[in-house]
Amino acid sequence: MIIGVIDYGMGNLFSVEQALKRLNCEVVVSADPVTLAATDALILPGVGAFPDAMKRLSETGLDQFIRQQVDAKKPLLGICLGMQLLFEESEEVTPTKGFSFFKGKITRFSGDSEFGKYRVPHMGWNTLEFQTLPNWLENKTLPESKYVYFVHSFYGANIDREQLVASADYFGVEVPGVVQAGSVCGMQFHPEKSGEFGVFLLEQWLNGVGVLAC
């Protein structure tokens, strides 16, 4: 089985590709819808600004391709900015509509809390607290250490609680870390850069969507 990494010019493609290869995945990195349509699951990475990403996806026709693939129930994982694009809208730079696979708005950290000012971006290691388990984590024993690596200035707010899998606390802000709706999953952190637990989550997602043998 093959996993397709969507190349729209704004993704951390190399690190994601190498992480998948270390898990013995057959990987295709492409911007061609025909090539990507022949894969068994898709990953949408992302680094940069929300409006620029949506513009690039629209210009290449990959936005409609992604919608068609999700309508066909193909598994999709969004990572970092790739996850944010799956929400309804973002306030980054200028108000911009997203894919609306997840409910909520991408909002900037204020930098102020009852504890005083805090650093933006949220950068570094933080612990995930699981609210529920998606089917790809059911009957799995989670490692005791659940640290993952975040690098972001915006996060999903006003979300649908039923879509929330795991979150992290950042100065009193609940940061959605993992979200799931049907065949679509999102991870705000970088699983490929998050040590053993990040690799564990990526591997379990791959197992769950049938890309790897369980």
Catalytic sites, residue numbers: 80, 190, 192
Best CA proximity match to 154, nearest among 71, 85, 75: 85
What amino acid occupies position 205? W
- Inter-residue contact 96 to 89 (CB < 8 Å): yes
Q: Give CA separation, 10 vs 31, 46, 68, 148, 193, in Å.
A: 11, 5, 21, 22, 17
Largest CA distance in the chain: 51
Place of tokens 């606390």: 169
- What contacts 170, CB < 8 A, 6 or more positions away? 109, 118, 122, 126, 150
